[in-house]
Structures are given as C-alpha cells and as structure tokens.
Amino acid sequence: MACAIVPLDEQQVTEPSAVGKDRTLPALHPDRKEERCFVPYRPPPEDGSPAQVEEFLEHAKFITEDLEWLLALPHDKFWCQVVFDETLQKCLDSYLCHASRGLDPAGLPCSPAVADVQRCIHRAVFMTFLRMATHKESKENFLTPTVFGEIIYENFLFDIPKILDLCVLFGKGNTQLLHKMIGNIFTQQPGYYSDLDETVPSVLQVFDTILDKCGLQCEGAGAMEPLKLNANGRPTAMTMSQQDLVDLVLYLCDSTTTIHAFLDIYPPACSTFQSHGFLSRLGSFYESAVPDMEKAVRKRNFTDKGLKEDLWKRMCHSCKRMVEVAHLLLQQSCLQPILEGGENIQTFAEELLQHFTSFLPEKRFLSDYDEQFPIAEDISLLQQALPLIDETRTSYLLQGVQSAWDSVGRRRPQGHLQSK
C-alpha cells in the first residue's frame, strides 16, 4: 500500500514487477490497475423469457460484485482503477444513460430478484460517483485538490450530462449529498462552469426542436430565418403520428425534470443559465408549446385510454417543473439578493420588475406562474424592502397579472392577493 500523509498524487510505491524484481512507480499508475473487465449496464428485459431474465440477473450480479469490489479497494487502488480502467467508466456511463428514471413509462412489474439486484446496482453506482467526487477521504487518504480537479476533468470522470443524470436519478432523496458532490466538483475544477456555459445553448436547442416538431415558429434561431415554403404543410401536435407525440411529451417531461433537478440541487448554476437569457426563452417556449401540446393530448383519439392519461400527467408535470425552474432562476438572481439586503438592492428590484414585465405577453405562462408563486407576494416584498418603489409600475404589473388570468379564462385561486 502507498505511504500516508503525502497526497496520493505525490506518493511512490515499490512493488514486485512481472519479472520478479522490485520497482518503484507513482502510486497513481496504469500498471497498478487490476484487469477486472467491468460489463456495461443493460436494463432488465421487457416481458423477457425466463432465460433472458436469468441472463440479466447474471449480468447485473457481475456489475454489483465488481462495484462492491471497487468500493472495498484502498484509496490508492480505487483511484488507479477509476482513472485507468475504461471498462469501469463505460459501465458507469451506461448506467447513467440507460437506468430507468422514476418518470419513465412503467413497464411490466419485475420479479423481486430483478428489483433487488437493480437496487444494489443503483446504490453501488451512486457510492462510486460519491467516492469519485471526494478528494479527501480521510486524514491519510487524499488528493491535492487541484490535481483532483484535473483528474476528474481530463479523464471525463464527470461531465455536464453525467452530472445532470446523477441529479435526476438520485436527487430526489439524496439532495444534500449531491449538492456537496457537485459543489466540490465545480469548486475544484472551474472548467465545469465553462462546460455548463457551453451546454446551455444545447438545452435551449431542445426547446427549439420541440417547437419545430410541433410546427411552431420558435423565437430563437427559427425567428431569424425565412419560413420554408412547405412550412404550412408540416405536421403539428394535432397531426403528427401518435408515436411522435408520445416521444415529444416524454422528451419534454424528461428535459424539464432534469433541468429542475439540477438547478434545485445546485442553485449556483442558475447564473450560468441566466447569462443565456434562459428565463425569457423558457417563458416564450411555454407560451407557444404548452397550449398546442395540451390540446393535442386532450382532443386526439387514443386507442389506449391509459396512454392519454399518462401523457396528460406528463404535460402537467412538465408545466409545473418549468414554472418551478422560472421561480428558481428568479429566486437566485433577484429575490434572494433582495431578501439579503445590501448595496445593490435597487438593481435587483429593477431586474425583478423587468422580468415580470417581460412575462406580461406570455399570458398562459404568467397565470400558471402566478398560481404556484403569487406575484403579488413578491411585489409586496419589494414594497417592504424599497418603500419608494414606483407604485404606478407595480399596479400596472398586477393588473397585467389579472388580465392574464382573465384572458386564459381561469379564475384565480382563493387566498391570492388581489391587485390594488
């Protein structure tokens, strides 16, 4: 074993070589990795024959055994394995890609043996990522923080899609642990902020793709381009194939849940999203896509009634998550700094009012937002923090909120503050 008190990345070890002679090499060295040969994860067979289930169980048992072996390794051996064993990285990545999320369409109930082994893999994968996100395991076992940052980044032990997967797969009940893990990853390797910055346009592209598939003009890239000559003949949410509609709703549901899980677990990422104007793009996407997709789910004939119900639930779930994402972004960028007080409170108040004002044309989005997070309460907070705030402006805003409710033909829930 490597010697203690020195960081692992500076340790040397003396081991017998293949020819029997002792040799000294860095504690983190590819030759110290074991040939374990991890297998990639495969989800359980849907409606599988007993033989297929048996094969799945054997396959899954290999993964749990190997991960438990990995977790039982001493610190130096663990890091040699995670850095130099590509089969391990493929195994972990395959789990993140293919493991069933709680939101995935429910398949047939699986046997207790399958459920058991799935739970074992789920826990072992999380513990492996937790250990990989920890640069200091104990007083004796640690890596130099900057070297840790380089190792995880250069070897892609973590990347932005993996971090998002971790949030959506494990975040519901392990928020605090994940917050610490992601916080440590971003702190020790600020390169992840640049990667996140590079990823947000791709997230926005997902919204544009959904609008495009629904035959809706999108405000981003689409608005800048001339309309294609055959644009009028393109499928819409009402006319596309049933499978396409199902896929679109599933995609929206997964995307909104994933973004929400990430921002909820790691709020410091909100500022990167905001630097791309995420909030206004989200509002306009909601306004364009939600009514059309909802209408398609309500009006189209589905042979399977259960499918229609499932899609409706997914639409409602997606709407709720989008509104919550909007609130998280406002909370981080404006509301929290206002509550904390400080010098720039006027600037944050102005920013908040500008955001609310920009929501006014998005009537469906505004009324749904106001239903979950009453805007009048935030205005009241502003009035307490800044007694000299322009009352004409706040009244105009609150009237706009009321008008949004009226125009979507819904009544405001009891208990909401009424506009002045």
114 binds other proteins, rule: CB under 8 A: no
Among 189, 258, 331, 332, binds other proteins (CB under 8 A): 258
- Decide if residue 53 touches other proteins (CB under 8 A): no
Establish if 80 lies at the interface with other proteins (CB under 8 A).
no
Residues 279-318 that bind other proteins (CB under 8 A): 298-299, 309-310, 312-314, 316-317
Q: Which is nearer to other proteins, 50 or 387 (CB)?
A: 50
76 scored as a contact of other proteins (CB under 8 A): no
Binding region for other proteins (CB under 8 A) out of 15-23, 251-259, 270-278, 330-338: 251-259
Among 68, 212, 350, 351, binds other proteins (CB under 8 A): 68
Told to check if 177 binds other proteins by CB under 8 A, we report yes
Nearer to other proteins, 200 or 401 (CB): 200
Interface with other proteins includes 123 (CB under 8 A)? yes
Segment interacting with other proteins, rule: CB under 8 A, options 14-22, 245-253, 333-341, 396-404: 245-253
Q: Is 3 in the site for other proteins (CB under 8 A)?
A: no
Q: Judged by CB, which is closer to other proteins: 17, or 357?
A: 17
Site membership for other proteins, residue 254 (CB under 8 A): yes
251 counts as binding other proteins under rule CB under 8 A = yes
Q: What residues between 180 and 209 interact with other proteins by CB under 8 A? A: 195, 198-199, 202-203, 205-206, 209
Nearest CB to other proteins, comparing residues 21 and 299: 299
- Count the site residues for other proteins by CB under 8 A: 77
Minimum CB distance to other proteins smaller for 159 or for 350: 159
Which span sits near other proteins by CB under 8 A: 169-177, 225-233, 323-331, 393-401?
169-177
Interaction between residue 40 and other proteins (CB under 8 A): yes
Q: How far apart are CA 313 and CA 305, in angstroms?
A: 13
Residue 96 in the binding site for other proteins (CB under 8 A): yes
The Cα–Cα gap between 275 and 258 comes to 19
Closer residue to other proteins in complex, CB, 18/388: 18
The yes or no reply on residue 110 touching other proteins (CB under 8 A) is no
Three-class secondary structure assignment of the chain: CCCCCCCHHHCEEEEECCCCCEEEEECCCHHHCCCCCCCCCCCCCCCCCHHHHHHHHHHHHHHHHHHHHHHCCCHHHHHHHHHHCHHHHHHHHHHHHHCCCCCCCCCCCCCHHHHHHHHHHHHHHHHHHHHHCCCECCCCCECCHHHHHHHHHHCCCCCHHHHHHHHHHHCCCCHHHHHHHHHHHHHHCCHHHHHHHHHHHHHHHHHHHHHHHCCCCCCCHHHHCCCCCCHHHCCCCCCCCHHHHHHHHHHHHHHHHHHHHHHHHCHHHHHHHHCCCHHHHHHHHHHHHHHHHHHHHHHCCCCCHHHHHHHHHHHHHHHHHHHHHHHHHHHHHHHHHHHHCCCCHHHHHHHHHHHHHHHCCCHHHHHHHHHHCCHHHHHHHHHHHCCCCCHHHHHHHHHHHHHHHHHCCCCCCCCCCCCC
Q: Could you count the other beta carbons within 10 Å of the beta carbon of residue 414?
A: 5
Asked if 174 touches other proteins (CB under 8 A), the answer is yes
Q: Is residue 116 a contact residue for other proteins (CB under 8 A)?
A: no
For 136, phi and psi rounded to 5 degrees? -125, 105
Of 159, 160, 248, the closest CA to residue 203 belongs to 160
Complex with other proteins: residue 199 or 394, whichever CB lies closer: 199
Contacting other proteins within 332-361 (CB under 8 A): none
Tokens 């896509």 belong to which residue?
289
Is 43 near other proteins (CB under 8 A)?
yes
Closer CB to other proteins, 116 or 390, in the complex: 116
- Region 208-237 residues binding other proteins, contact defined as CB under 8 A: 209
Of 136-165, binders to other proteins (CB under 8 A) are: 137, 156, 159-162, 164-165
Is the Cβ of residue 15 or residue 198 nearer to other proteins in the bound state?
198
b/e for 357-373, b at 16 or more Cβ within 10 A? eebeebbbbbbbbbeeb
| Min dist. Cβ of residue 127 to other proteins (A) | 4
Asked if residue 377 binds other proteins (CB under 8 A), the reply is: no
Among 29, 131, 276, 300, binds other proteins (CB under 8 A): 131
How many Cα atoms occupy the beta-carbon half-sphere of 361 within 13 Å? 7
- Rounded to the nearest 10°, the torsion over CA 310, 314, 315, 317 is 140
